[in-house]
Chain A
Amino acid sequence: MTAPGGEGGRARAAAIVACYDATLAFFCSRLGPREQDAAEDLAHDTVVAALVVAARNGDLDMKNPVPYVLGIARNKLADFLRRKYRRRELPLDEGVPESALRDLADRGHTLRMILAEQRRRVAEAIALLSETERRILTMLMAEGATVSEVASAVGLPAPEVSRIKYRALEKIRAGLGRGSSR
């Protein structure tokens, strides 16, 4: 593999690799908590595909790679949902800078560690919530209930349910420590 485009090419590749975090957040949001592994794979595949596009079309203006990355991510998501559980191998194209692939692997590895630590601390923070807060958050976030459904289930007004959710998320945010969680 070669690294085309010299400094310009490397800068473009770095800008694409920097989209990995948002790409992962996109897939995690769209696929839900049961498909976290698939979300990681898809985020990785998306960034690699964007690197391939950049390598093939050296003249593309990649100062802002977001439209490319987001476009590819949406296609990958649609493809995944169409062929759920039937993964397709992504052929790596000659010309993708090896350093970009290495950076992407590093970024994925680091983010995985950060997420694991974050999930551990979130679990600790959840343990400190009141029973009502935990129950309401579980219904809203893990079971996909709406605020009005939760309100009627727990016998509280809907605005109160929203307030409890907001308060509980604030507690979790505080438990994580804003500086280390981001």
Chain B
Amino acid sequence: MIGPSPLAWPCEDPSDGGLLEGYADATLEPMRSTRFEEHLFACPGCVAELRMRQSTTVALAALEARRLAGRRWTFAALGAAAVVTLGALLWLTAPGGSADPFSLDLRGSLRGESSPRIAPAGRPLVLRLPVISPESRGRTFEVRVENAAGREVLVEPALSLGEDGSVLLRVPSGLLKPGGYSVILRERDAPAGSSAERRFKLELR
């Protein structure tokens, strides 16, 4: 308990004149507001009532802020869900919808053509192809991609050798449909079917 014993409220002091309501709502004219403030400093009952109303205002404002924040989060969550759904739909429906390229290293398949390397259909591909021999440095390479029927679907006539001793072939998304392919790497000017040519099997699923 702070200060003298409280008075009952509504204030019994006639100098209040029922001003507290207007003062708390900030609707009093300046003269009446001044009069009430002079009364306030002498009236613990009005101080306590004002304090209760201020606590109520603070609590209501906090509740309202939480409610609005909750609504904002709900809208944000709904918005995020809509964006994700739309993105997923585009990815599923558009040919090559995902822009994230799939990298496949074919250096491990040098030893034979028995088992094809698997890559996802509908995504851009980056194929890393091993060079034929160490003497090939500085030379230019041609890469062809043939489908299962032996039909040429992609030709890159002049690719250079990378620092890591391999040639990178970039295949745009949507160019290759699901199925089996042969990727043929050879030095330019080397005769077709010569020992300077390598074949790799690729399967898009």
Residue numbers of A with Cβ under 8 A of B are 18-19, 21-23, 25-26, 28-29, 32-34, 36, 66, 69-70, 107, 110-111, 114-115, 118-119, 122-123, 126, 134, 137-138, 140-144, 146, 169, 172-173, 176, 181-182
Contact = CB atoms under 8 A, between A and B. Distances in A.
> Interface SS of chain A: helix, strand, loop or mixed?
helix
Contacts of A115: 51, 55
Contacts of A33: 54, 57-58, 61
Contact of B41 (A22, A173, A181): A22
Interface in B28-70: 37-38, 40-42, 44-45, 47-48, 50-64
Given A26-B40, A173-B52, A21 B58 contact: no
B2 interface: yes
B52 A172 contact: yes
A29 B60 contact: no
A111 B27 CA distance: 27
Nearest to A176: B52
Contacts of A32: 57
B64 A143 contact: yes
Contact of B50 (A25, A70, A142): A25
Given A21-B2, A29-B23, A114-B2, A126 B59 contact: yes
A36 B3 contact: no
Contacts of B179: none
Interface residues of B, number: 33
Interface in B95-117: none
Contacts of B41: 19, 22-23, 26, 66, 69-70
Interface in B108-166: none
Chain A CB within 10 A, most for which of B24, B48, B55: B55
B6 interface: yes
A58 to B, nearest CB: 23
Nearest to A137: B60
B38 A66 contact: yes
Given A28-B50, A143-B64, A169 B40 contact: no
A140 B41 CA distance: 25
Contacts of B56: 122, 126, 137, 141, 169, 172
Given A122-B59, A141-B60, A22 B40 contact: yes
A176 B51 CA distance: 12
Contacts of B37: 26, 70
